[in-house]
Chains A and B, each alone.
Chain A
Amino acid sequence: MSRRYDSRTTIFSPEGRLYQVEYALEAINHAGTAIGIMAKDGIAIVAERKVTSKLLEQDSSAEKMYILNENTLCGVAGMTADAGILINYIRESSQEYLKIYNKEPPLEHIVKHVCNLKQGYTQYGGLRPFGVSFLFAGYDDRFGFQLYTSNPSGNYSGWKATSIGANNSSAQTILKQEYKDDLDLEDAKKLALKVLSKTTDSTKLTSEKVEFSTVSLASNGHVQLKIWKPEEIDKLLQESGVLEDTEEDK
């Protein structure tokens, strides 16, 4: 009987719930964690990559970090294939905006735009919702650095620090305790790795399991988007002291 209201995305259950949307949200709660922390001079995003097999070719390209336009990048939790569709959509509409107005779109515009698409799949029947949550990090002239999350329901919200994916509630708890308003990017980077190391199941963080990206401003005022390379991540992990901490905990 429980299948009665499950099968269609667009039908409310008698309790007033949309099961398919809730299942999509649940799917993301099992995906690798992604954590974003906004500092006064930048944003750091860190994500856990689940390594499925030793035999799998470990190419250096990031799977969960994508540059969307000149001043925005995002981290992904959920189904990577679904994310690919949405990222393509965002990149395309972002270029369209640039073409029309000769200006990069404001960050919230992008987020709103992709959320409208996601919302559509909770209302129009026959298709499943996108099983993806995003962490959007970017900079625009009006509001400076901004960090947003979005989920399959089509809701989005702005944060100082937040997390999506597995163990997001425990990550959120640590962030709530450790976040300070005067954080700079260096602190944010360390805190992001620290929170990830505490919430992730894997015993030791390595560049194989961690993806990292930052948004900051260059000295000329231009936005600098960086998806970190494995060697750089390893170095960062060494410097952050996260590796020693985990050994002590054992």
Chain B
Amino acid sequence: MDIILGIRLKESTLFATSKAFTRGISVLKATDDKTIDLNTHNMMAYTGESGDTTQFAEHIKANVQLFGLREGYDMESSEIASFVRNQLATSLRSRKPYQVQVLIGGANNEGEGFLSMIDYLGTRCDLPYAAHGYAAFYTMSLLDHHYKDDISLDDGLRLLKLCEEELTKRMPMDFKGLNVKIVDKEGIRTIDF
């Protein structure tokens, strides 16, 4: 029941993930971070089979970092998305596939936002806004209604607030609030939301 949300804005990409770490019917932690910084301008939010998620995220980060060292420049968002999809598609055809859903986002050199959603089957879709899991049911209508092309950061955060309110209202469990991160040309930062 994790919440994994991403919104691509004009000059940045917004990520919101639930802070609750749950196992079965228990919340074990209220300060969980379901995101990982891949390099200075790209990050990944993930959900799925716990254990697989961390393992996969660290595997991707290590490879993105290695690419940077080998090639002398950081991997771009679209390259990362292709790489991650390839990894999941390869894993799917192995004896024990990773069961992980991810959102990949970042800002390119021109400072434009990027967002891509990929599931464990290797389905990839580049979108203006995306959500994995139950959160999608409650937020898609809001995002459909309010999202505009070239939306500013302030408008994006306002829209995210609407999503949070709706989720708090409708979700049957307490997800302990949202962990919100912004990626723009300055880099990645967490904000108080």
Mark out the residues of chain B between 73 and 91 whose CB falls within 8 Å of any chain A CB in the assembled complex: 73, 75, 78-79, 82-83, 86
Binary A-proximity of B13-57 (CB < 8 A = 1, otherwise 0):
000000000000000000000000000000000000000000000
A99 near B: Cβ within 8 Å? Answer: yes
Asked whether B71 lies within 8 Å of A102 as measured between CB atoms, the reply is: no
Which chain B residues border A106 with CB–CB below 8 Å? 71
CB nearest neighbor in A for B78: A102
CB nearest neighbor in A for B79: A101
A142 near B: Cβ within 8 Å? Answer: yes
Give the number of chain A interface residues (Cβ < 8 Å).
8
CB nearest neighbor in B for A98: B82
Which chain B residues border A142 with CB–CB below 8 Å? 73
Mark out the residues of chain A between 81 and 121 whose CB falls within 8 Å of any chain B CB in the assembled complex: 99-103, 106, 109
Which chain A residues border B78 with CB–CB below 8 Å? 102-103
Chain B, interface size category, equals under 10
User: By CB atoms of chain B within 10 A, which of A100, A101, A106 has the most?
Assistant: A101
- Shortest CB distance B95–A (Å): 21
- Shortest CB distance A105–B (Å): 9
When chains A and B are docked, how far (Å) is the Cα of A102 from the Cα of B83? 8
Binary A-proximity of B62-76 (CB < 8 A = 1, otherwise 0):
000000000101010
Asked whether A103 lies within 8 Å of B82 as measured between CB atoms, the reply is: yes
Asked whether B73 lies within 8 Å of A102 as measured between CB atoms, the reply is: no
Binary A-proximity of B110-136 (CB < 8 A = 1, otherwise 0):
000000000000000000000000000
Which chain A residues border B73 with CB–CB below 8 Å? 142
Which chain A residues border B79 with CB–CB below 8 Å? 101-103
Asked whether A99 lies within 8 Å of B86 as measured between CB atoms, the reply is: yes
Asked whether A100 lies within 8 Å of B82 as measured between CB atoms, the reply is: yes
CB nearest neighbor in B for A109: B71
Asked whether B71 lies within 8 Å of A100 as measured between CB atoms, the reply is: no
- Shortest CB distance A104–B (Å): 11
Which chain A residues border B82 with CB–CB below 8 Å? 100-103
CB nearest neighbor in A for B75: A101
When chains A and B are docked, how far (Å) is the Cα of A106 from the Cα of B73? 11
When chains A and B are docked, how far (Å) is the Cα of A102 from the Cα of B79? 7
CB nearest neighbor in B for A99: B86
When chains A and B are docked, how far (Å) is the Cα of A43 from the Cα of B18? 54
Binary B-proximity of A148-171 (CB < 8 A = 1, otherwise 0):
000000000000000000000000
- Shortest CB distance B18–A (Å): 31
Which chain B residues border A102 with CB–CB below 8 Å? 78-79, 82
17 A-B pairs, CB-CB below 8 angstroms? A99-B86, A100-B82, A100-B83, A100-B86, A101-B75, A101-B79, A101-B82, A101-B83, A102-B78, A102-B79, A102-B82, A103-B78, A103-B79, A103-B82, A106-B71, A109-B71, A142-B73
Return the 3 tightest CB-CB contacts between A and B, nearest first.
A102-B82, A101-B79, A100-B86
Q: 14 extra interchain contacts, Cβ-Cβ under 8 A, other than A100-B86, A101-B83, A102-B79?
A: A99-B86, A100-B82, A100-B83, A101-B75, A101-B79, A101-B82, A102-B78, A102-B82, A103-B78, A103-B79, A103-B82, A106-B71, A109-B71, A142-B73
Binding site for A on B (CB under 8 A): 71, 73, 75, 78-79, 82-83, 86
